[in-house]
Amino acid sequence: MKTKSLLLALFSLFFSELVIAQQPDPVITDCGLIQGMFENGLTVYKGVPFAAPPVGELRWKAPQPMKKWEGVRQAVEFAPGPPQGQNFSFGKSEDCLYLNVWSPAKTADDRIPVLVWIHGGGFSAGAASEHMFNGENLAKKGVVLVCIAYRLGQLGFLAHPELSAESPAHVSGNYGLLDMIAALQWIQKNIAAMGGDPNKVTIFGESAGGIAVSMLCASPLAKGLFSGAICQSGGSFGPASVKTASGENMKLLKDAEQTGIAFANNLGAASIAELRKLDADRLTAGMGIGMAWPNIDGYVIPDDQFKLYEAGKYNDVPVLIGYNSDEGASFSRARTPEEYYNAVKNRYEKFADDLIKVYPAGATTVPKTARDLDRDAAFGWHTWSWARLQSRTGKSKVFYYYFDQHPDYPEGSPRYGQGAPHGSEIVYVFQHLNQSNPMMGSSQRTPSDQVISDAMSTYWTNFAKYGNPNGEGVPEWPAFSEANPKVMYFNQTPYVGPVPSADALEVLDKYFEWRRTPEGQGVTE
């Protein structure tokens, strides 16, 4: 028995020494020493704190600096994700302000370009540590890959008069965006210790993450924190609205505060003090009253982003932006042509008939041509507007894409006629085609999928390195301009083509222009 115990002790000691031997030397951050791990030829740091836990009295406050620690902090396990409806193997916690790093650097002097991923999920779901966002494959193409977390749901975006009153800036609601800015500030201070170049930081994100990227491009608080931006199916160029609709989710602070009051009342809380006592899970359940979304507060987000870009008031960095061919398949519920017509007329009012002409439904079905209106109202028009405005008022180049890689579903299939749905490009960018992809079963993959994945990951990492996606082994991608409105298509193989559905976008453009008038805002004398 004693012999067995001795052997176990020796094995444990050996194993511990082996683990230590497999770890890199600790690196110095502004808060103390951290130690990551070697993983498949990279140095990986998991669960690195970039701000103090936003709990207790720090709930609904701007992120605060992390306190310094003694000794060496182990960064070898993912931190819990933010509280939300879904669960993760690594758990959930209000203490969620952590990031993960995959670095190919051999020394701290390597100064490798940095790609910073901001996940999507409607500002209410998702986590930096989701398996889909493992940065290993991108890092092996010569970048330091960082995935950052941020507060979600009402914990990240609750606006309320009491919160605005207690804020030094007299605003509330954009805590999740402030978390992103805090993470970027941490990267500026610390990424060099992990071999990254703080002067070559490119932010990229999809869906809500892409929307956040566009907001950071327009925020004076983020100025100088990044040198390039990639937006996948995002952009926030619609007007502020009391009501929310696809592509028109933004509220002015005063209206967002009223939504926050309704949210508190719904929970039976008479004050912010009472809300701070509630369990975090009660604050993130569902997306009903008080749906989480950033607001135009005049501080983090100074104004309507379209107007900011018209005036040239934004962080002028190179951008790579685009969207997918069938985003509407993910958001359009099954409905009859009559239901589609009524919905269009209800939302678009005087522009309904013109939009139905360019986004027509079938006699008995609502095909992709009709779903494209949902696609363009939420994503297509926003990226197109971004490309036009920046190429008109900025100095930095714009690169525009259209992702249309998808299986050809057989006639009679529930997915017959579908294009590339929302989020389906992520596995191509991160080079995870060999892993589970709910958008596309392994039996449906073709050699062209790998061609597209290799091309996109190369373009994305080239962009991080050079501020330009072009380089060896990929077709030339021309910069977008209004005089030369060229788009890179990802379909079977990369090729350059015109702006998709340009005539339809022009009609939608007139609608959004009208929405910014007193009549379009429903303002009456």
What six digits make up the tokens of 100?
């993960």
Q: What is the pLDDT of residue 365?
A: 86
Q: What is the pLDDT of residue 108?
A: 84
CA–CA gap between residue 431 and residue 68 (Å, rounded): 37
CB atoms within 10 A of CB 23: 17
Q: Which of 164, 140, 320 shows the shortest CA–CA distance to 231?
A: 320
Active site residue 406: no
Q: What is the pLDDT of residue 160?
A: 97
103, 124, 164, 207: which one is catalytic?
207
Q: Which helix (H) or strand (E) holds 38?
A: strand 37-39
- Note the pTM of the prediction, 2 decimals: 0.93
Q: What is the pLDDT of residue 85?
A: 84
As a three-state string, the secondary structure of 477-494 is CCCCCCCCCCEEEEECEE
Q: What is the pLDDT of residue 54?
A: 98
Tens of pLDDT, residue by residue, the chain (525 residues):
455 555 445 444 444 444 444 799 999 999 999 999 999 999 999 999 999 999 999 999 999 999 999 999 999 999 999 999 888 888 999 999 999 999 999 988 999 999 999 999 999 999 999 999 999 999 999 999 999 999 999 999 999 999 999 999 999 999 999 999 999 999 999 999 999 999 999 999 999 999 999 999 999 999 999 999 999 999 999 999 887 888 899 999 999 999 999 999 999 999 999 999 999 988 886 544 446 899 999 999 999 999 999 999 999 999 999 999 999 887 777 689 999 999 999 999 999 999 999 999 999 888 899 999 999 999 999 999 999 999 999 999 999 999 999 988 888 888 888 999 999 999 999 999 975 544 444 556 789 999 999 999 999 999 999 999 999 999 999 999 999 999 999 999 999 999 999 999 999 999 999 999 999 987 543
CA–CA gap between residue 304 and residue 314 (Å, rounded): 12
94, 206, 327, 425: which one is catalytic?
327
Q: What is the pLDDT of residue 211?
A: 97
Active site residue 327: yes
**Do the strands 319-324 and 398-403 form a parallel or antiparallel pair, or are they unpaired?**
parallel
* C-alpha angle 281-284-286 in degrees, rounded to nearest 5: 120
Active site residue 207: yes
Answer yes or no: are the C-beta atoms of 488 and 482 closer than 8 Å: no
Answer yes or no: are the C-beta atoms of 448 and 490 closer than 8 Å: no
CB atoms within 10 A of CB 285: 13
Q: What is the pLDDT of residue 174?
A: 98
What separation in angstroms does the CA of 393 have from each of 311, 389, 463? Answer: 7, 6, 21
Answer yes or no: are the C-beta atoms of 195 and 145 closer than 8 Å: no
Residue 86: beta bridge partners? Answer: none
Question: What is the torsional sign of CA 420, 425, 427, 428?
Answer: positive
What separation in angstroms does the CA of 31 have from each of 34, 169, 466? Answer: 9, 26, 31
Q: What is the pLDDT of residue 11?
A: 47
Furthest C-alpha separation in the chain: 92
Place of tokens 């020493």: 33
CB atoms within 10 A of CB 502: 11
Start-to-end Cα distance in the chain = 91
What six digits make up the tokens of 62?
């701007």
Strand spans (E) along 396-482? 398-403
Residue 34: beta bridge partners? Answer: 27, 73
Place of tokens 């005049």: 298
Strands lying side by side in the sheet with 32-35: 27-29, 32-35, 72-74
Q: What is the pLDDT of residue 523?
A: 54
Domains of the chain (ranges; CATH) run: 21-317 (3.40.50.1820)
119, 382, 406, 422: which one is catalytic?
422
